[in-house]
Amino acid sequence: MTKSEQLYEEAQKYIPGGVNSPVRAYKSVGLVPRFISKAEGAYIVDADGKKYIDYIGSWGPMILGSNQKQVFENVVAACQNGLSFGAATEYEVKMAKLICELVPSIDMIRMVNSGTEAVMSAIRVARGYTGRNKIVKFEGCYHGHSDAMLVKAGSGVMTAGVPDSAGVPEGCAKDTLTAVYNDFDSVQTLFEKWGKEIAAIIIEPVAANMGVVLPEDDFLKKLRQICDENKSLLIFDEVITGFRLGIDGAQGYYDIKPDLTTFGKIIGGGMPVGAYGGRREIMEMVAPLGMVYQAGTLSGNPVAMAAGFTQLTLLKENPSFYQKLNETATMLFEGMKQIIKENEVEASINYIGSLGCMFFTNQKVRNYTTAKMADTKAFGTYFKHMIENGIYIAPSQFEAMFVSGAMGEGEVKETLEVIERFFVR
């Protein structure tokens, strides 16, 4: 029995499913999860001492690679001053100012402890600001596990949302309308019916929770327009894309100003941090300034701020970082495309910058329906091969691969060799 197997057995006695977040259980690939003991740079090491090239990077935060020296040092220094005060600190001010400088659509920002909290709060603010209740989200986009966001599409886009989880009252889901990613008509249909009741559209500007799906043509621009025409707000959920597609996120990449933005993952440098921000007049709705209540005992925690602020500062001060990161990622994803082509594999690659994934379908994946066409069994076999050969990727067809700045040609070549061995068998 491996150490991971022992730990998993023990964990299942005390933690539901043995894990603190469902995807970690490896259920969709039918394997025992690897318990992790440490990570350094581009590598992660499991409880049995086996080393892997890490394409999860804590699901995005570790864009600089794990245990980056300066981030580590500043976190230790912050710890020496005390782990938490539950009071205002200088770090929070520096952090907020930095993000407002880096992201032009953000005049004011509030720190929270997770992406879920950031989205939940941004939606409350959008509802408070507009005095409306309905929210449009897209099928296949993930926005954390708050009640209103755990909604699957009703039968056809004209119906109200249906809860996607037990324990979510219908009342919490009924104001969540679901549209189809990359299908502007589906959005228009919702606005024709509910326009004056829609507080906001929320979207992952690049979807990265149904695999990676890129927005087509003017899709995001049209969303901006229809929000303006109907006095609804546009919320970009940049929990993954923020500070990954570039220092100003997907909104900088596509040159679109959302009214509100949510962050998480990278913003905390590996610590539990989320944030939501946007236009001044909207953010002035938040307590204690305004009537929208939102609070957090550990929000803006000094140790977490030390990690996040240091990571963002490093990204800001090294403009060539993203160029090099994207070159490494391009080498990887183009290499994967090449392998697929040469071996006539039924698979396709979607990627942008350092974010990408392989779908086990030869369909072009442009929304949830086409993503679901992927052969998850084939993915499971592929996953097993990858993990056994030292490549740590997400145990699900519908998650992204995250390339980090700690990776170079060596890691990419090794990864491509492992992938090639799988397909030429």
Ligand X SMILES: *Cc1c(COP(=O)(O)O)cnc(C)c1O
For the annotated catalytic residues, the residue numbers are 142, 237, 265
Alpha helices in 201-301 (DSSP H): 219-230, 249-253, 280-283
For residue 236, list its beta bridge partners. Answer: 203, 261
CB closer to ligand X, 61 vs 405: 61
Query: With CB under 6 A as the contact rule, which of the stretches 39-47, 114-122, 126-134, 404-412 interacts with ligand X?
Result: 114-122
Task: Say if CB 3 and CB 368 are below 8 A apart.
Answer: no
CB closer to ligand X, 182 vs 331: 182
Q: Is 397 in the site for ligand X (CB under 6 A)?
A: no
Which positions from 144 through 173 interact with ligand X, judged by CB under 6 A? 144
Query: With CB under 6 A as the contact rule, which of the stretches 41-49, 113-121, 337-345, 370-378 interacts with ligand X?
Result: 113-121
Q: Which residue is nearest to ligand X (CB)?
A: 115
Rounded CA separation 301/299 (Å)? 5
Q: Is 399 in the site for ligand X (CB under 6 A)?
A: no
CB closer to ligand X, 114 vs 350: 114
Q: Is 299 in the site for ligand X (CB under 6 A)?
A: no
| Residue type at 234 in one-letter notation | L
Q: Is 242 in the site for ligand X (CB under 6 A)?
A: no
Nearest residue to 5 via CA among 28, 29, 26:
26
Nearest residue to 109 via CA among 259, 316, 273, 280:
280
329: left (phi over 0), alpha (psi -120 to 50) or beta: alpha
Q: Is 239 in the site for ligand X (CB under 6 A)?
A: yes
Q: Which of 114, 328, 350, 354 binds ligand X (CB under 6 A)?
A: 114
CB closer to ligand X, 115 vs 302: 115
CB closer to ligand X, 340 vs 403: 403
Query: With CB under 6 A as the contact rule, which of the stretches 42-50, 139-147, 243-251, 345-353 interacts with ligand X?
Result: 139-147
Q: Which of 95, 112, 119, 212 binds ligand X (CB under 6 A)?
A: 119
Neighbours of 239 (CB within 10 A): 29
Cβ 79 to ligand X shortest distance, Å: 22
Encoded one letter per residue, x for contact with ligand X by CB under 6 A and - for no contact, window 273-292 reads: -x------------------
CB closer to ligand X, 311 vs 335: 311
User: Which DSSP category does 34 fall into?
Assistant: P
Nearest residue to 367 via CA among 256, 207, 219:
207
Q: Which of 26, 52, 55, 142 binds ligand X (CB under 6 A)?
A: 142
Q: What is the 3-state secondary structure (H, E, C) of 59-128?
A: HCCCCCCECCHHHHHHHHHHHHCCCCCCCCCHHHHHHHHHHHHHCCCCCEEEEECCHHHHHHHHHHHHHH
Q: How far is CA 423 from the centre of its chain?
A: 29
Q: Is 204 in the site for ligand X (CB under 6 A)?
A: yes
Encoded one letter per residue, x for contact with ligand X by CB under 6 A and - for no contact, window 248-267 reads: ----------------x---
User: Which DSSP category does 42 fall into?
Assistant: T
Encoded one letter per residue, x for contact with ligand X by CB under 6 A and - for no contact, window 323-362 reads: ----------------------------------------
In b/e form, how buried is each residue of 284-303, taking b as 16+ CB within 10 angstroms? Answer: ebbeeeeebebebebbbbbb
Residues near ligand X (CB under 6 A): 114-116, 119, 142-144, 204, 209, 237, 239-240, 264, 274
